[in-house]
Amino acid sequence: MIAVNLLPWRHARLRRQRRAALGVGAMLLLLLMLAAVLQLWHLNRISQQLRSAQNDAHDALTTIARQLSQRRDLQQQLAMQQTQWRNAQHHAAELMRWHHFWQALPTLLPDQLWLERVEKEPARLSVEGRSLDMGAIDELRRRLGEQTLFAAVKQGDVARQPDGYYRFALRARLEESGDE
């Protein structure tokens, strides 16, 4: 019988198997590295998109905050202008009330009475004058009391002068304005 040495054949087969296993392993390692690189590239792209979206959201929030600040400023300006307008309207109404009073004052005076001094102060009106009789003074006090400008009209000093006239003083407290 012939003896056949299979050892070199076995070594060759083992080397081929090792090369094939190493090739498959290298191929798997290469595929795994390629998959990892693709996954990292994909994650990097998503991260960039998220950063872009975050920057856009931050810009939008900054814009909204600026618009809210501008809106608050405009509302404050509007409130100040409305207050100024109401104050101007109130002042104009007060001036108109006084205008009507000054126009009506001559008709409020009884015939036997003359005014010598009229003084308007912030909270009251002072009237001084002369009269032929006490009834005319009382009539003037009553007529002034009927005016809407005054809360109360009080008689001050009344003195009879040597010439027969009565010297008098009236103090009218002004009505508090409801708008203030």
Phi, psi for residue 132 in degrees, rounded to 5 = -80, -30
Report yes or no on 100 lying in a domain.
Answer: yes
Residue 64 has pLDDT above 90, yes or no: yes
| Cα separation of the two ends of the chain | 134
CB atoms inside a 10 Å sphere around CB 144: 19
Q: Is 77 a domain residue?
A: yes
Please report whether residue 179 resides in a domain: no
Specify the amino acid at residue 101.
F
Closest to 132 (Cα-Cα) out of 108, 157, 163? 163
Is there a contact between 174 and 124 (Cβ–Cβ < 8 Å)? yes
Tell me, what's the pLDDT at 9? Answer: 86
CA 88 to each of CA 63, 85, 95, 175: distance values in angstroms, whole numbers, following the listed order: 37, 5, 10, 19
How many independent structural domains does the chain possess? Answer: 2
Q: Please, which pLDDT band fits residue 180 given cuts at 50, 70 and 90?
A: very low
In this structure, the answer to whether residues 99 and 136 fall within a common structural domain is no
Does a structural domain hold residue 180? Answer: no
Question: What is the mean predicted confidence (pLDDT) over 81-102?
Answer: 93
Note whether 103 and 152 are same-domain residues: no
38 shares a domain with 85: yes
Confidence class of residue 177 from pLDDT cuts 50, 70 and 90? Answer: low
- Residues 115, 74 share a domain: no
Domain that holds residue 80: 7-108
